[in-house]
Amino acid sequence: MAAGINLKNVGDRMSGFKDVVGHKNIIQYIGNAVTSDTVSHAYILNGERGSGKKLLANLFAMSLQCQNREADGDACGKCQSCKQAMNGNQPDIIRVVHEKPTTISVDDIREQVNNDIVIKPYSSKYKIYIIDDADMMSVQAQNALLKTIEEPPEYAVIMLLTQNAEVLLPTIRSRCVMLKLRNIRDQLVKKYLMEQLEIPDYKADICVAFAQGNMGKAISLATSEYFNEIKEEAIRLLRNIDEMQVEELMAAVKNCMLYKLEIQDYLDIIAIWYRDVLLFKATKDPDRVVFSDQLKYIKQRASKSSYEGIEVILDGIEKAKARLNANVNFELTMELLLLTIKEN
């Protein structure tokens, strides 16, 4: 999303694992490792963007450095180390950065990890390195890091945050504890949006349907004005497409250009709308409709379209996504999709 929300403010409200929604298995594992003093030198936290990797890594680091840890291994949130960690200036929690947007170079790893890790911790038991986007490391960078992971100082803990851990060298993966972040149950995501962010019921349902268990994405959608704008535009098109003449359809295609960067979200909105239509046609149950504020129009469409027609549209949306991912001409792809929708 162009208007992607910085989730730092949400993270700021979290002083420990007790505030995290979901990921109970990982939290329990970390708690056991911390309390039993069986912390590994290297971890991989793997999950899609927005799944909570950075949040869990930050809380893990904070609990390791905490000066007055709770019985379950959680950080106290009150000691000097915790306060420093929450403000992002704990001297023994190092976040590796990279200048190139799509690559972590061998120099980044040598300068920020290898050359620094030999210096003992400033004030804590551990010296922790958090490498976000670790799957962007070049092969040379990975080989440089491998030497450190193979023979780390006793105080060192390295956390690699990845969306696709499979691109890391097998020799790195085999030396790390893998923590895989799963999707969070929809009810928990909705509860958080409504209770913590005070998002109204119907809007929370839409965000949950889109996020598919990804809390970061749900929060981003719920707090994004731009997403609301895309949603309203897509719904306006869907409500009026039957009456549109060819030239109006072409104007609608041109209008889609405004949302080119967010076209996947735009297409997801159309897909969820037609899933609502299909579901209502099959069950007549309004409670199962995501776009509950559009029920009147969902009913109208369900009575007009056949099951086959709706399936053709849903298939057309998936084909449009695939074509756009393959860089097929944008206007041509959208024109074909809108004609498919209009004809069915």
Question: What percent of the chain shows pLDDT beyond 90?
Answer: 55
User: Residue 277: its pLDDT value, please?
Assistant: 94
Same domain, 24 and 173: yes
Same domain, 127 and 268: no
Same domain, 106 and 173: yes
Same domain, 252 and 113: no
Same domain, 251 and 168: no
| 282 part of a folded domain | yes
Same domain, 230 and 141: no
Q: At residue 6, does pLDDT exceed 60?
A: no
Query: Residue 17's domain spans which residues?
Result: 8-180
pLDDT in tens, 34-69: 999 999 999 999 998 888 999 999 999 999 999 999
Last residue of a domain, one of 125, 153, 180: 180
Same domain, 30 and 158: yes
pLDDT in tens, 17-34: 888 888 989 999 999 999
Q: For residues 276-283, give the mean pLDDT.
A: 93
Using H for helix, E for strand and C for coil, what is the string for the chain?
Answer: CCCCCCCHHHHHCCCCHHHCCCCHHHHHHHHHHHHCCCCCCEEEEECCCCCCHHHHHHHHHHHHHCCCCCCCCCCCCCCHHHHHHHCCCCCCEEEECCCCCCCECHHHHHHHHHHHHCCCCCCCCCEEEEECCHHHECHHHHHHHHHHHHCCCCCEEEEEEECCHHHCCHHHHCCCEEEECCCCCHHHHHHHHHHHCCCCHHHHHHHHHHHCCCHHHHHHHHCCHHHHHHHHHHHHHHHHHHHCCHHHHHHHHHHHHHHHHHHHHHHHHHHHHHHHHHHHHHHCCHHHCCCHHHHHHHHHHHHHCCHHHHHHHHHHHHHHHHHHHCCCCHHHHHHHHHHHHHHC
Same domain, 93 and 24: yes
Same domain, 167 and 22: yes
